[in-house]
Amino acid sequence: MSDSASFMATDGPSKGLAQIALLSSDARLQGRPRLCSDCGLCDSYLQPAMAQACVFVRNQTEALEQRLHGRNRHADDERQFGIFRAQHAARLRRPNPKAQWTGIVTALGARLLELGRVDAVLTTGAAAGTRFQAQPVLARTPAEVLATAGNKPSLSPVLNLLDAVREQGIKRLGFIGTSCQVHALRAIESELNLDHLDVIGIPCSDNVSYPDLVYFLEQVSRSPATIVHYEFMQDFRLWMRHEDGSVEKLNFIDFPMDKLHGVFPSACLSCFDYVNSLSDITVGYMGAELGWQWVLARTANGEELFELLRPDLELGELTSRGDRSKGMPHFIQRLAQPPGAKRPPYLVRQLVALLQRKRGSQGLEFARAIIEMKLLRNLNYLRSKFARFEERVVPYHVYAALEPYNEQYQETFAQPLTPLREK
């Protein structure tokens, strides 16, 4: 499989940041909310429920947490990580070489089918002839789930396969998806007429349309067509693994932001659930050390899912080092700079990158730092581009998580980090 034919020289991002996430003449996109991540709900029989389910019409995290857990978040790590019962550092003893990490997500999805716990798993694979173009999949066998291994960081209308779930009479469903997809699924869960639902959440930030993904990789890699997997890693670098096994690494501070302005969809820049907090179990990486995956069991169901895979897992230790608060004032100042501002000189960037790796936050403190940066960036973006949406799009916990930075934010942007209704 190769993306080579898809990597043609492109002029730039398909849109500006103030515009709708998906600019297209495609008739199926008509009538969508102005902020749209193309989750697929509007392509299904449940389209009439869009206004009640879409996270970009009204964020229902607070109410959905009450339904799932009988409570809302405690004033501790749950403000950043979401409600959880247990968290682990883990990796498969026998990693899947086709997976982005060790393959926990697809291994768990396959296990659900092997044990007959579900009748099908709704997930995302890659379109034929590509590595990264998302293609929704309704898998009925373990092999079909395992075939979807590997990241597809482009927008995927996976919920459109809820039509197939209904038509095929599926009553026990496994679901692997991103936070906006999971929010919509939870909001309409009672209408699905399912006997059982397992939700495996993938942490998600800044997905893009496939053409913009091609453009992004062209800007950051020496050989975009040979990239097999890529991820923003805990050492403050983008890691890009190529077909020959080599790993290309780019410091975050070296990103050509002047060329990337407009790549990321408005919806993703208005999302506040990086950690997929409404899933039963979240499987990512950023709270763990390099080489490990970060797993949060959120519900009783999620604890069961973890136990199903535990015999195949090697368990490690979760660590936490550094102080994220030291770098946050500098981050807030950078938010105030115009998009595409000139980068510091090369030697300065190399020094900053070295200091980030040597003295920057690591482990769970790294996760807290990245989550808070995303919350700050996205709240500031929403206020600058879609201010009237704030009251219904920003969930309750964001302001509590960001409260320590209120003074610095107010000095920089002349407004406080408090809910719109309290101003």
251-263 confidence digits (pLDDT tens): 998 988 888 888 8
Cα separation, 89 vs 104, whole angstroms = 12
Would you list the DSSP string of 227-240? EEEEEE-TTSEEEE
Average pLDDT over residues 228-238: 90
Cα separation, 187 vs 379, whole angstroms = 23
pLDDT at 21 (0 to 100): 46
Would you list the DSSP string of 247-303? EEEEEGGG--HHHHTT-S-TTGGG---TT-TTSSEEEESTTS-TT-EEEEE-SHHHH
pLDDT at 360 (0 to 100): 86
Would you list the DSSP string of 183-239? HHHHHTGGGS--SEEEEEE------B-HHHHHHHHHHH-S-GGGEEEEEE-TTSEEE
Bridge-based pairing of strands 227-232 and 172-177 is unpaired
Contact 397, 73 (CB under 8 A): yes
3-class secondary-structure state, position 125:
strand
Share of the chain above pLDDT 70, in %: 91
Sign of the CA dihedral 23, 28, 30, 36? negative
pTM score of the predicted model? 0.92
Share of the chain above pLDDT 90, in %: 72
pLDDT band, very low/low/confident/very high, at 135 (cuts 50, 70, 90): very high
Q: What is the distance of C-alpha 66 from the center of its chain?
A: 22
Cα separation, 316 vs 153, whole angstroms = 27
Contact 145, 109 (CB under 8 A): yes
Tens of pLDDT, residues 308-345: 999 999 999 999 999 999 889 989 998 998 776 677 88
pLDDT band, very low/low/confident/very high, at 13 (cuts 50, 70, 90): low
Tens of pLDDT, residues 67-100: 999 999 999 999 999 999 999 999 999 999 888 8
3-class secondary-structure state, position 51:
helix
Cross-strand bridge partners of residue 196 = 172
| Among 213, 263, 276, 267, CA closest to 240 | 213
pLDDT at 10 (0 to 100): 55
Average pLDDT over residues 267-289: 95
Higher pLDDT, 35 or 282: 282
Contact 78, 287 (CB under 8 A): no
pLDDT at 26 (0 to 100): 58
Contact 148, 137 (CB under 8 A): yes
pLDDT of residue 16 exceeding 80, the answer is no
Bridge-based pairing of strands 313-316 and 86-92 is antiparallel
CB count in 10 Å sphere of residue 423: 8
Tens of pLDDT, residues 191-207: 999 999 999 999 988 88
Higher pLDDT, 3 or 82: 82
What integer best gives the mean pLDDT of the chain?
Answer: 90
pLDDT at 92 (0 to 100): 97
pLDDT at 396 (0 to 100): 94
Average pLDDT over residues 143-166: 95
| Among 53, 106, 81, CA closest to 273 | 81
3-state secondary structure 141-156: CHHHHHCCCCCCCECC
The 8-class DSSP code of residue 318 comes to: -
